[in-house]
């Protein structure tokens, strides 16, 4: 692995927005101003409330969108970037913008984000973490669709995501004791995957495919694309010994899924 | 003899097609595959010297008519282009939006993106931004069986399916013909500057490079420039260490100040230069690509100065122009053709002794020398796996036969 020295300075900014559209515009504004922060983490209202009820982190509970932005690098670079980031947030309708003054405050701002999944876990018997990616500019439309999926399916869905790279983590809140809920929650997750795929995105940003998503691969890969990957697999693992059945669609299941819900690419 | 767009190492064919779409291109490739013909994919034809002479050649397939920008959304910091688009043209289009593809290979004006990816070309900016494998997020290829397949996508974070992008990059057109590419982009830094330090002592140059790579300073590039290369770029004929910095103006000023102080502290002398010195160095590297022989050495980072010294000494009789991406341990020499291959063999052995994975690739040389020395060197134990992959993806050995590592 190639290593790099630790950054000289890190600054963390918390910006509160009246809605996720404005928050997304602020992110686009940063990129337009040639700023690519080290991290841009967004949380929606449901997540904010969950966090504040479990471990108050200074996130306003009425906010529809909180964005945590981190810039790092040389002192002078970080000063200039953090000033520009704060300005962009104000220009895009932020209700408040706060720069962590010291390491303790920085840690506190991050504690909320880092505890988000656990906080959601306190609000629901079970939650299903979805991992999908869309181009940055498609985030607002995708989040709006996820809200529709929440309404249609009857599951509450909290959103915590890496806005800087378009990687979404909708948390679908459900109860495994309710008969039939498991199939429904999996369907809601698959529907979110369809939305990501239709927006030009991907089925996974960091967690991989696995049993859960292998039959959704046709949403973004054609039969030929998958055949190409299988050729690589057979060259490197001719006996099929390495993690069999973990990445590629199983023909029957797959066709059934798409017959029911439509639209695979080239299958 | 070297290569032109219609011949490679003296192997020529009059049959060439320039398909207007990726489907047409796939059809041409499939037809050749079925007829048992050998195909050479060609973009701008600027890097045909890379590799061994082809064992067969029946058809040249040009990608140059596939030259469109497919999708560019600046706020996404990504772009999708057809493979025949000129590298220079893409950079021009991106610059209009204050963005760039953070890759600066010594590319001749005709170089296409597909060609640069197939040869995994890179330049000084690899220190800060990495190489093609860090920048390509999606690849579409035409295969010998007539299919057109894609890997990756248009998003910057993606772990769905195998990451075949990394396989196609640097595969020299032996696995498929790249027809479309998606890249992640970077903003052009608001300000840039170049600091040049002159060093009489190679150990002093080594010390400053080691100090800078371990400091919080974040140059975009750290270059070592040998005396003849320096002279070719209109700089003093001496061993130079060159830093390229970029960012907000106040941060650029700070880096110029700190790096200049480090140059002095390490016994070097700051060279006053013109604003164009960075472009002059780029020009020097591009011009060097047309010398008779171009070699590329890869060594551990800490051996950057030593490998430059070795290249200068071993090739001294052939007027070598030598430079290194010192923060990455990658060094190049461009020179006249040596009288026989012994010089190159001995050079390779001395470079290989610098580290477990140290290697020397002869990127360009007269065909006669290629008959005497394998330009790739020892491919190591992974060659069996490479052959297995080749057999799966190009079972009839249609694509660029014989040119790649281990005779692939």
CA closest to A29 among chain B residues = B75
The whole-model pTM stands at 0.96
Interchain CB contact of A220 with B (< 8 Å): yes
Q: Is residue B280 part of a domain?
A: no
CA closest to B176 among chain A residues = A228
Q: Is residue B57 part of a domain?
A: yes
How far apart CA B118 and CA A47 sit, in angstroms, is: 45
Tens digit of each residue's pLDDT (9 = 90 or more) over A206-216 = 999 999 999 99
- Mark yes or no for CB contact A202/B189 under 8 Å: no
Tens digit of each residue's pLDDT (9 = 90 or more) over A125-174 = 999 999 999 999 999 999 999 999 999 999 999 999 999 999 999 999 99
- All CATH 3.30.70.3450 domain ranges in chain A, comma separated: 9-118
**Confidence class of residue B1 from pLDDT cuts 50, 70 and 90?**
very low
For chain B, percent of residues with pLDDT exceeding 90: 95
Together in a domain, B358 and B242: no
Together in a domain, B171 and B311: no
For chain B, percent of residues with pLDDT exceeding 70: 99
Together in a domain, B156 and B267: no
- Mark yes or no for CB contact B254/A220 under 8 Å: no
pLDDT of residue A255: 54
pLDDT of residue B45: 94
- Mark yes or no for CB contact A202/B167 under 8 Å: no
Together in a domain, B70 and B92: yes
Q: Which of B216, B238, B273 is the last residue of a domain?
A: B273
Together in a domain, B262 and B307: no
With beta carbons under 8 A apart, name residues in chain B contacting A223.
none
Q: At what angle do helices B304-314 and B202-213 cross, to 10 degrees?
A: 150
Together in a domain, B214 and B341: no
How far apart CA A53 and CA A45 sit, in angstroms, is: 12
Q: At what angle do helices A20-32 and A139-153 cross, to 10 degrees?
A: 160
pLDDT of residue B120: 98
- Domain holding B367: CATH number? 3.30.70
- Mark yes or no for CB contact B251/A76 under 8 Å: yes
Together in a domain, B44 and B146: yes
Taking Cα atoms as reference points, which of B16, B14, B111, B12 lies closest to residue B53? B12
**Confidence class of residue A31 from pLDDT cuts 50, 70 and 90?**
confident
Q: CA-CA distances (angstroms) from residue B61 to B25, B67, B148, B335?
A: 8, 14, 15, 31
Predicted ipTM beyond 0.85: yes
Interchain CB contact of A80 with B (< 8 Å): yes
Q: Is residue B399 part of a domain?
A: yes
**Confidence class of residue A253 from pLDDT cuts 50, 70 and 90?**
low
- Mark yes or no for CB contact B385/A236 under 8 Å: yes
Average pLDDT over residues B270-297: 96
Number of domains comprising chain B: 3
- Domain holding B247: CATH number? 3.30.70.3450
Tens digit of each residue's pLDDT (9 = 90 or more) over B309-355 = 999 999 999 999 999 999 999 999 999 999 889 999 999 999 999 99
Classify domain A124-207 by CATH number: 3.30.70.2740
- Mark yes or no for CB contact B250/A80 under 8 Å: yes
Together in a domain, B63 and B175: yes
Helix (H) or strand (E) holding B202: helix B202-213
The beta-carbon neighbor of B156 closest among A5, A166, A228 is A166
How far apart CA A254 and CA A216 sit, in angstroms, is: 7
CA closest to B157 among chain A residues = A205
Together in a domain, B174 and B239: no
Interchain CB contact of A182 with B (< 8 Å): no
Q: Is residue B283 part of a domain?
A: no
- Mark yes or no for CB contact B73/A233 under 8 Å: no
Range of the domain at B263: 189-273
Separation in Å, CA of A187 to nearest CA in chain B:
19
Q: Could you give phi then psi for residue A182, rounded to 5 degrees?
A: -60, -45
Dihedral of CA A4/A6/A11/A17: which sign? Answer: positive
Average pLDDT over residues B251-257: 97
In CATH, what is the architecture of A9-118? 2-Layer Sandwich (3.30)
Poorest-pLDDT segment among A19-33, B26-40, B123-137: A19-33
Residues 6+ apart with CB under 8 A from B281: B124, B223, B225, B233, B242, B323
Please give the mean pLDDT across all residues of chain A.
92
């Amino acid at each position: 692995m190639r290593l790099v020295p630790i950054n000289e300075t890190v600054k963390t900014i918390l910006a509160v927005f009246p809605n996720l559209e404005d928050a997304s515009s602020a992110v686009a504004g940063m990129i337009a101003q040639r700023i690519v922060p080290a991290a841009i983490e967004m949380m929606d209202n449901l997540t904010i409330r969950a966090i504040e009820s479990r471990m108050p982190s200074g996130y306003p509970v009425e906010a529809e969108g909180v964005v945590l932005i981190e810039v790092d690098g040389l002192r002078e670079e970080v000063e200039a970037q953090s000033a520009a980031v704060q300005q962009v947030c104000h220009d895009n309708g932020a209700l408040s913008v706060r720069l962590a003054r010291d390491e303790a405050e920085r840690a506190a701002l991050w504690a909320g984000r880092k505890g988000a999944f656990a906080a959601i876990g306190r609000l629901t018997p079970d939650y299903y973490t979805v991992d999908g990616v869309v181009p940055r500019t498609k985030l607002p439309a995708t989040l709006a669709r996820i809200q529709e999926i929440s309404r249609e399916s009857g599951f509450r869905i909290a959103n915590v995501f890496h806005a800087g790279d378009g990687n979404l983590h909708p948390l679908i809140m459900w109860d495994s004791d309710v008969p039939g809920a498991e199939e429904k929650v999996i369907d809601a997750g698959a529907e979110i995957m369809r939305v990501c795929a239709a927006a030009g995105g991907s089925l996974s940003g960091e967690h991989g495919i696995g049993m859960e998503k292998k039959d959704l691969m046709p949403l973004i890969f054609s039969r030929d694309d998958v055949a190409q990957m299988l050729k690589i697999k057979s060259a490197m693992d001719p006996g099929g010994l390495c993690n069999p059945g973990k990445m590629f669609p199983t023909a029957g299941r797959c066709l059934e899924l798409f017959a029911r819900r439509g639209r695979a690419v080239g299958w | 003899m070297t290569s032109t767009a219609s011949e490679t190492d003296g192997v020529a064919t009059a049959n060439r097609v320039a398909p207007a779409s990726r489907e047409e291109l796939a059809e041409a490739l499939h037809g050749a595959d079925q007829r048992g013909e050998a195909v050479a994919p060609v973009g701008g034809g600027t890097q045909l010297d890379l590799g061994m002479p082809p064992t067969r050649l029946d058809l040249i397939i040009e990608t140059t008519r596939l030259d469109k920008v497919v999708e560019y959304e600046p706020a996404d910091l990504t772009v999708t282009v057809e493979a025949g688009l000129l590298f220079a043209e893409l950079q021009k289009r991106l610059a209009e939006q204050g963005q760039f593809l953070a890759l600066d290979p010594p590319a001749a004006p005709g170089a296409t993106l597909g060609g640069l990816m197939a040869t995994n070309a890179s330049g000084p900016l690899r220190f800060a931004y990495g190489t093609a494998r860090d920048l390509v997020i999606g690849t579409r290829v035409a295969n010998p069986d007539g299919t057109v397949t894609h890997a990756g996508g248009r998003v910057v974070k993606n772990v769905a399916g195998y990451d075949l992008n990394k396989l196609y990059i640097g595969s020299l057109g032996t696995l498929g013909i790249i027809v479309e590419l998606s890249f992640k982009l970077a903003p052009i830094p608001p300000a840039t500057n170049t600091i040049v330090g002159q060093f009489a002592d190679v150990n002093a140059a080594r010390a400053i490079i080691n100090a800078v790579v371990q400091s919080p300073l974040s140059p975009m590039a750290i270059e070592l420039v040998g005396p003849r290369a320096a002279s070719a770029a209109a700089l003093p004929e001496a061993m130079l260490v060159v830093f390229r910095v970029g960012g907000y103006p106040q941060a650029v000023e700070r880096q110029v100040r700190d790096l200049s102080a480090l140059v002095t502290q390490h016994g070097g002398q700051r060279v006053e230069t013109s604003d164009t010195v960075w472009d002059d160095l780029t020009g020097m590297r591009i011009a060097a690509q047309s010398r008779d022989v171009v070699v590329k050495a890869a060594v551990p980072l800490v051996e950057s100065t030593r490998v430059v010294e070795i290249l200068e000494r071993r090739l001294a009789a052939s007027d070598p122009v030598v430079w290194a991406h010192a923060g990455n341990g990658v060094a190049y020499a461009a020179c006249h053709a040596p009288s026989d291959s012994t010089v190159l063999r001995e050079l390779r052995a001395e470079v290989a002794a610098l580290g477990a994975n140290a290697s020397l690739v002869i990127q360009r040389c007269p065909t006669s020398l290629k008959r005497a020395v394998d330009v790739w060197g020892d491919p190591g134990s992974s060659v069996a796996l490479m052959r297995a992959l080749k057999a799966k993806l190009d079972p009839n050995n249609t694509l660029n036969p014989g040119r790649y590592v281990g005779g692939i």
